[in-house]
Amino acid sequence: MALTAYRGSIFQAHSQFTLCVSAAQTNAETVGDVMILFSFLQGWLNRRSPLEAEILLSLFDRFFEDLFNFTVHNLNAKMEVLQSMQIMQACNLLEGLIPHNEHKHPVTENFLEKLVVFSVMWSVGECRLLV
């Protein structure tokens, strides 16, 4: 069976130790997990309007870590899901939830904030139950 010309691989570090080691090996100045986790988010934001991308990035910066930490400390995981997959799912949810007809009904920052909180909570809390 011949392989197609378009091949690729995705590297997903499984633990904080692996991330720190890989960051140290590449002489990265920032923690490796931030670069890995938000690379998909940045790619998705590049396809949005510049104003909307700026707002969404600030909302992710403001809410993701707190919502993720809340679910980790207050809920029991029933299935392990990688953070990169959680961010990808939040972006996929937002893609479907954010209206595409901006000219008729402009999207406000308040509305985007509600969508981001909903999407992130749905994504990080999907496989968890209350302790």
Q: What is the DSSP string of 12-61?
A: ---SHHHHHHHHHHTT-SS-HHHHHHHHHHHHHHTTS-HHHHHHHHHHHH
pLDDT digits (tens, 9 = 90+) for 21-80: 444 444 344 444 445 556 788 899 999 989 999 999 999 999 988 888 888 888 888 888
Query: How many Å apart are CA 40 and CA 90, to the nearest integer?
Result: 11
Residue whose tokens read 């909903």: 118
pLDDT digits (tens, 9 = 90+) for 81-109: 888 888 899 999 999 999 887 667 778 99
Domain assignments of the chain as residue spans, ordered by start: 38-130
pTM score of the predicted model: 0.68
Both tokens assigned to 77:
């995981």
Q: How far are the Cα atoms of 9, 22, 87 from residue 43, in angstroms, in the given order? A: 17, 22, 12
